[in-house]
């Protein structure tokens, strides 16, 4: 199972030269299964880079887009997603219902006048919308297994787990989660997502803040990089990639955070735009 990071920035995209080592595009990640499955996690501005990669690299023009939630930094890339304007492609957009909205209604709104010139009925791709059950579910997507649970965040958010039983690879993707404000039940559900059916190989987790800055941003819906290490070790994962980097943190600041995280636990690193991983069991 291959994982490609199109965007790792939180809150808003940044484009200054001293932000480009870690990358300025907001959240979008592509998971490529061995059997040709293409699962995209979130539709931030990093989605544009994923669109080019998808069109260039696959014989089967189908992709599944799983949305964690609809804050704009996770949705801004959708209107300009290449695949939506390509009639050869079938794109399924799936998420649990959020704020009483089905995924189809969210996409209709984001593409509606006066926000975007091409409305839903003018797109060329075959679009399919799926409302996932809120929790306690597993979905098979060809040879991949998908699981998810709700996590603590304003307006809610879901974390997803992708397993590839054929290779033993497993990923938990948990952007936008405030670990320190989570209830016991939310913590238990999330740790279970990481632990079952076996401890995940890789956790990608929101670590926008640090313990030193968190008190100013309590209730904003994000974790600290130190929380990422704590969760990773509790969940028994082998590696954690910290993501959703604050738009104020330039490359020098993120490099210092990464050094501190690696000193605390050698299995930690910061996610970067353009990073590609070949994940095994």
Q: Which residues bind Zn ion (CB under 5 A)?
A: 10, 71, 73, 176
**Closest-CB residue for Zn ion?**
71
User: Minimum Å distance from CB 36 to Zn ion?
Assistant: 29
Nearer to Zn ion, 176 or 186 (CB): 176
Please report how close the Cβ of residue 242 comes to Zn ion at its closest, in angstroms: 14
- Closer to Zn ion by CB, 163 or 176: give it: 176
CA distance 162 to 148: 9
C-alpha span between 275 and 270 (Å, rounded): 10
| Min CB(68)–Zn ion separation in Å | 8
> Are the beta carbons of 39 and 31 closer than 8 angstroms?
yes
Nearest residue (CB) to Zn ion, 73 versus 227:
73
Q: Smallest gap, in angstroms, from Cβ of residue 208 to Zn ion?
A: 8
Decide whether 199 or 247 has the Cβ nearer to Zn ion: 247
38 bridge partner residues = 32
Query: Given the complex with Zn ion, which of 71 and 147 has the nearer CB atom?
Result: 71
Q: How far is the CB of 151 from Zn ion (least distance, A)?
A: 10
CB distance 102 to 129 below 8 Å:
yes
For 66, 103, 111, 224, the CA distances from 61, given in Å and listed in that order, are 17, 21, 22, 38
* Dihedral sign (CA 272, 50, 75, 179): negative
* Residue whose structure tokens are 């539709």: 43
């Amino acid at each position: 199972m291959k994982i490609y990071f199109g965007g790792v920035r939180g809150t808003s995209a940044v484009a200054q030269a001293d932000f480009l080592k870690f990358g300025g595009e907001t959240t979008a990640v592509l998971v490529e299964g061995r059997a040709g499955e293409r699962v995209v996690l979130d539709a931030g501005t990093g989605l544009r880079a994923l669109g080019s990669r998808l069109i260039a690299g696959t014989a089967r023009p189908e992709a599944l887009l799983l949305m964690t939630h609809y804050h704009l930094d996770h949705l801004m890339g959708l209107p300009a997603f290449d695949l939506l304007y390509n009639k050869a492609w079938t794109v399924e957009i799936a998420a649990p219902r959020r704020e009483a909205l089905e995924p189809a209604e969210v996409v209709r709104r984001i593409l509606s006048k006066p926000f975007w010139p091409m409305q839903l009925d003018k797109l060329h791709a075959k679009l399919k919308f799926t409302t996932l059950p809120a929790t306690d579910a597993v979905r098979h997507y060809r040879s991949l297994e998908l699981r998810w649970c709700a996590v603590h965040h304003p307006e809610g958010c879901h974390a997803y787990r992708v397993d590839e039983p054929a290779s033993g690879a497993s990923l938990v993707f948990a952007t936008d989660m405030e670990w320190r404000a989570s209830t016991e039940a939310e913590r238990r559900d999330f740790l279970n997502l990481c632990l079952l059916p076996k401890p995940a190989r890789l956790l990608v987790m929101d670590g926008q803040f640090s313990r030193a800055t968190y008190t100013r941003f309590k209730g904003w819906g994000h974790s600290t990089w130190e929380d990422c290490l704590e969760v990773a070790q509790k969940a028994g994962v082998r590696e954690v990639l910290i993501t959703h980097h604050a738009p104020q943190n330039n490359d020098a600041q993120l490099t210092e955070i990464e050094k501190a995280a690696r000193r605390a636990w050698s299995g930690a690193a910061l996610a970067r735009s353009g990073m590609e991983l070949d994940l095994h069991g």
